[in-house]
Chains A and B, each alone.
Chain A
């Protein structure tokens, strides 16, 4: 699954609607609890464990990709 697909699945939206700019502001279900769900799903999907400081920086899809790259995930 791609980052977009994970985000889409967690918040049950169409993956085609997800862009790098998708964030808490553009997706209704992406609240603070939704964020924790997202972190768990990303960790499961990409087999990484994200430091809390990094997890908190993942405020939009572009940021998520950047952080994941820092963990050596090839996207």
Chain B
């Protein structure tokens, strides 16, 4: 310490003593006295101050967090790291509350190569503030250094969870590209835009990884989307995209746009823009099999007509709506191209925050940072639907989830469910759930309750929206929920990875998360007003096409329940099967059922001999080709119509036919229907006079149930390499014969 500063301190001391003498400390309130004394101690002997905290934790922490932060700062300034570490760990809840101090301490510890202690300090910082970004980031960096890639990736995921700002999300994106950690299927995404959309990439990356996909991105150079689309040899097509997002700004495609147009100018512009977009889409479709998602058009400014806009025919906003309607209408017949409702993203986030004129003028960015997370969430719906990551069934708790209160305690009349709060939140949530069944999503109940208590509400409560017949399965008992959920999956014949679990009880959620990680367990917020929004924010229920089967599904599962009851009542299995009155029809598939076939190819896991995930254009190609046969399979029985549940692809050779694919929905497994299906293929082979029928089998994680399929039908093993087998049947020598309980619809037989 220098001489002058020393003398300065001395004179301060003298002054302080003089002040003390005046202030008669004993007459001050005791907590103020204590505070003064402790503050003095901090400034003169911080090490001792730490000891005092350890000896009198209650009294000192009672002084409030400010003083803890002061002590922490002084210790750090004097580089008393050991004492600082001791202090930061000393009392719970933490005495030092400024997370910045923790970060500084951890950095200093790292410089001293005391990494383990630094980690400890950062964990304490997360105790104070679970959203402390710098702590998460530092922990990530340390974990990466340790080479623990999976743990490191978890820290990155947490970082993106607590902070959706571009800097945080793009940091996560860059690190993940560098680490190339993580497993999952790849997906190739191209972005074509007339404006700057680079910012979306990190957000889209984040959503992909949440869905278990590892994305690769291609972005067309600024404003070169047209060249990229028109040139078959362009980088776009060389990239082989699976999904292409096309984002065009209205002023970019039609610079002469003016809100003051006459009616005929509006019409002309609308037609020209529609043609331009459709032209692009057709060019893409002719060169790529990718799913093309075109953003609908939106604008920054306002209507020039003001309050007259609904009285005049040439209103700009009406024109814009008509333009988007036109495009949607025109694309409806394009199986691989969609119009994405950009305005529903923008409206949700807020137009003022989403469309910031300055960002557009300054950086060519028409969609501003606050809208990017939501835009990415909307975009991922298309990707998940394409990749078959759609969930099929929502398993619901009852008390606290579908209604308020515990029915076992308050009785059916006492639960909160009705037109006013509390109660309306649950009614509205049920409405949203029921809406999902229109897309073919199933609902099931899993509740710890006396069945009678719960059923009284479900059957008779006047405001219950979802009734008994709308649940595909119900488990209301006192068994543990993991067992119940496994049973639901078995009853419905779907995989655990098709289930979503919604329960207000965090303990039940944790149990399912640990025991059944394949099930998607939803973090239901504490506040029931947020239930509906939580459900609607989920991106797991989208389909690229709604088939008749999707709409019928709920009814089919209820019929299944009746079938199950009949099975329990039947005397013998044979009698039961006879009683089902199963009728099967098989045809060569036509184009009308194309989207259902593609859905089957991409969703069927268990009864799938080769699990080839054919996409639309491939199946369409097979249908056109003379060398292929594509079959479809329809099933009905006494209890209902199963619809189109199976398909097969046969490659025709001059002397042998090869069954390239054969698959069937697991809902109709175990009834001998597959044999009836194969009988038809066999019959066609006989008629075509080929001598051999080859059956392919490719083992997957999930198709164990059909491993012996060809052996069971008289085929013998021809070749066995890795997970791939060829089975052969001499046509004519050993016919395939369907079981007696299955009827074939006569008019359908024959080529």
Chain A positions near chain B (C-beta within 8 angstroms): 10-12, 14-16, 29, 32-34, 36-37, 40, 49, 52, 55-56
Instruction: Type the 1/0 row for B355-386, where 1 means its CB is closer than 8 Å to any CB of A.
Output: 01011011101001100000000000000000
What residues on A are CB-neighbors of B142 within 8 Å?
none
The minimal Cβ–Cβ distance linking B504 to chain A, given in whole angstroms, is: 35
What residues on B are CB-neighbors of A52 within 8 Å?
358, 361-362
A10 contacts B369, C-beta separation under 8 Å? no
The minimal Cβ–Cβ distance linking A14 to chain B, given in whole angstroms, is: 6
Contacts A14-B104, A16-B104, A37-B166: A29 and B171 contacting too (C-beta < 8 A)? yes
The minimal Cβ–Cβ distance linking B689 to chain A, given in whole angstroms, is: 67
Asked whether any CB of chain A lies closer than 8 Å to the CB of B228, the reply is: no
A14 contacts B198, C-beta separation under 8 Å? no
A15 contacts B369, C-beta separation under 8 Å? no
What residues on B are CB-neighbors of A36 within 8 Å?
359, 362-363, 365, 369
Distance of A29 Cα from B202 Cα, bound (Å): 14
B167 contacts A29, C-beta separation under 8 Å? yes
Asked whether any CB of chain A lies closer than 8 Å to the CB of B390, the reply is: no
Asked whether any CB of chain A lies closer than 8 Å to the CB of B314, the reply is: no
Asked whether any CB of chain A lies closer than 8 Å to the CB of B725, the reply is: no
Which of A14, A29, A33 is B134 in contact with, Cβ under 8 Å? A14
**A11 nearest CB neighbor, chain B only:** B167
Asked whether any CB of chain A lies closer than 8 Å to the CB of B137, the reply is: yes
A33 contacts B104, C-beta separation under 8 Å? no
The minimal Cβ–Cβ distance linking B204 to chain A, given in whole angstroms, is: 15
Asked whether any CB of chain A lies closer than 8 Å to the CB of B703, the reply is: no
Asked whether any CB of chain A lies closer than 8 Å to the CB of B103, the reply is: yes
Contacts A33-B170, A36-B363, A52-B361: A12 and B198 contacting too (C-beta < 8 A)? no
The minimal Cβ–Cβ distance linking B456 to chain A, given in whole angstroms, is: 53
Given contact pairs A12-B137, A29-B171, A55-B362, enumerate 12 new A-B contacts (beta carbons under 8 Å): A12-B134, A14-B100, A14-B104, A15-B100, A34-B167, A36-B362, A36-B363, A37-B165, A37-B166, A40-B356, A52-B362, A55-B358
B358 contacts A12, C-beta separation under 8 Å? no
Distance of A18 Cα from B412 Cα, bound (Å): 62
What residues on B are CB-neighbors of A11 within 8 Å?
167
**A34 nearest CB neighbor, chain B only:** B167
Distance of A49 Cα from B104 Cα, bound (Å): 34
What residues on A are CB-neighbors of B134 within 8 Å?
12, 14
**B168 nearest CB neighbor, chain A only:** A12
Distance of A23 Cα from B166 Cα, bound (Å): 18
The minimal Cβ–Cβ distance linking B195 to chain A, given in whole angstroms, is: 14
Asked whether any CB of chain A lies closer than 8 Å to the CB of B622, the reply is: no
Tell me the B602-617 residues at the A interface (CB within 8 Å): none
What residues on A are CB-neighbors of B168 within 8 Å?
12
What residues on A are CB-neighbors of B167 within 8 Å?
10-12, 29, 34, 37
The minimal Cβ–Cβ distance linking A39 to chain B, given in whole angstroms, is: 8
A40 contacts B369, C-beta separation under 8 Å? yes
Asked whether any CB of chain A lies closer than 8 Å to the CB of B199, the reply is: yes
**B199 nearest CB neighbor, chain A only:** A33
Asked whether any CB of chain A lies closer than 8 Å to the CB of B133, the reply is: yes
Distance of A36 Cα from B170 Cα, bound (Å): 13
Distance of A8 Cα from B133 Cα, bound (Å): 12
**B103 nearest CB neighbor, chain A only:** A14
The minimal Cβ–Cβ distance linking B318 to chain A, given in whole angstroms, is: 31
List 29 A–B pairs whose Cβ atoms lie within 8 Å, in order of A's numbering: A10-B167, A12-B133, A12-B137, A12-B167, A12-B171, A14-B103, A14-B104, A14-B107, A14-B134, A15-B100, A16-B104, A29-B167, A29-B171, A32-B363, A33-B166, A33-B170, A33-B199, A34-B166, A34-B167, A36-B362, A37-B166, A37-B167, A37-B369, A40-B368, A49-B358, A52-B358, A52-B361, A52-B362, A55-B362
Distance of A36 Cα from B369 Cα, bound (Å): 9
**A40 nearest CB neighbor, chain B only:** B369
What residues on A are CB-neighbors of B166 within 8 Å?
33-34, 37
**B170 nearest CB neighbor, chain A only:** A33
Tell me the B101-138 residues at the A interface (CB within 8 Å): 103-104, 107, 133-134, 137
The minimal Cβ–Cβ distance linking B116 to chain A, given in whole angstroms, is: 22
What residues on A are CB-neighbors of B369 within 8 Å?
36-37, 40
The minimal Cβ–Cβ distance linking A69 to chain B, given in whole angstroms, is: 21
Distance of A64 Cα from B104 Cα, bound (Å): 26
Distance of A37 Cα from B100 Cα, bound (Å): 22
What residues on B are CB-neighbors of A29 within 8 Å?
167, 171
Distance of A34 Cα from B368 Cα, bound (Å): 13
Q: Which 5 pairs from chain A and chain B are nearest by CB?
A: A52-B362, A37-B166, A29-B167, A36-B363, A12-B133
**B196 nearest CB neighbor, chain A only:** A33
What residues on B are CB-neighbors of A32 within 8 Å?
363
What residues on B are CB-neighbors of A33 within 8 Å?
166, 170, 198-199
What residues on B are CB-neighbors of A56 within 8 Å?
362
Distance of A8 Cα from B104 Cα, bound (Å): 14
The minimal Cβ–Cβ distance linking B198 to chain A, given in whole angstroms, is: 7
Instruction: Type the 1/0 row for B176-201, where 1 means its CB is closer than 8 Å to any CB of A.
Output: 00000000000000000000001100
**B166 nearest CB neighbor, chain A only:** A37
Distance of A37 Cα from B104 Cα, bound (Å): 25
**B202 nearest CB neighbor, chain A only:** A33
The minimal Cβ–Cβ distance linking A12 to chain B, given in whole angstroms, is: 6
Distance of A12 Cα from B136 Cα, bound (Å): 11
Tell me the B648-699 residues at the A interface (CB within 8 Å): none
**A36 nearest CB neighbor, chain B only:** B363
Distance of A11 Cα from B362 Cα, bound (Å): 21
**B163 nearest CB neighbor, chain A only:** A12
What residues on A are CB-neighbors of B100 within 8 Å?
14-15
What residues on A are CB-neighbors of B358 within 8 Å?
49, 52, 55
Distance of A74 Cα from B296 Cα, bound (Å): 44
Distance of A55 Cα from B107 Cα, bound (Å): 33
What residues on B are CB-neighbors of A12 within 8 Å?
133-134, 137, 167-168, 171
What residues on A are CB-neighbors of B356 within 8 Å?
40
What residues on B are CB-neighbors of A34 within 8 Å?
166-167
Instruction: Type the 1/0 row for B494-526, where 1 means its CB is closer than 8 Å to any CB of A.
Output: 000000000000000000000000000000000
**B356 nearest CB neighbor, chain A only:** A40
What residues on A are CB-neighbors of B171 within 8 Å?
12, 29
Distance of A15 Cα from B98 Cα, bound (Å): 13
Distance of A47 Cα from B171 Cα, bound (Å): 27
Distance of A15 Cα from B101 Cα, bound (Å): 11
**B365 nearest CB neighbor, chain A only:** A36
Distance of A34 Cα from B361 Cα, bound (Å): 17
Distance of A16 Cα from B73 Cα, bound (Å): 12
What residues on A are CB-neighbors of B361 within 8 Å?
52
**B165 nearest CB neighbor, chain A only:** A37
Tell me the B33-50 residues at the A interface (CB within 8 Å): none
Instruction: Type the 1/0 row for B55-92, where 1 means its CB is closer than 8 Å to any CB of A.
Output: 00000000000000000000000000000000000000
**B361 nearest CB neighbor, chain A only:** A52
Residue of A11, A33, A49 most packed against chain B (CB within 10 A): A33
What residues on A are CB-neighbors of B104 within 8 Å?
14, 16
Distance of A73 Cα from B198 Cα, bound (Å): 32
**A53 nearest CB neighbor, chain B only:** B362
Distance of A36 Cα from B198 Cα, bound (Å): 13
**B171 nearest CB neighbor, chain A only:** A29
Distance of A37 Cα from B167 Cα, bound (Å): 8
Distance of A14 Cα from B134 Cα, bound (Å): 9
Distance of A39 Cα from B107 Cα, bound (Å): 29
Distance of A56 Cα from B137 Cα, bound (Å): 29
Residue of B133, B165, B199, B362 most packed against chain A (CB within 10 A): B362
What residues on A are CB-neighbors of B359 within 8 Å?
36, 40
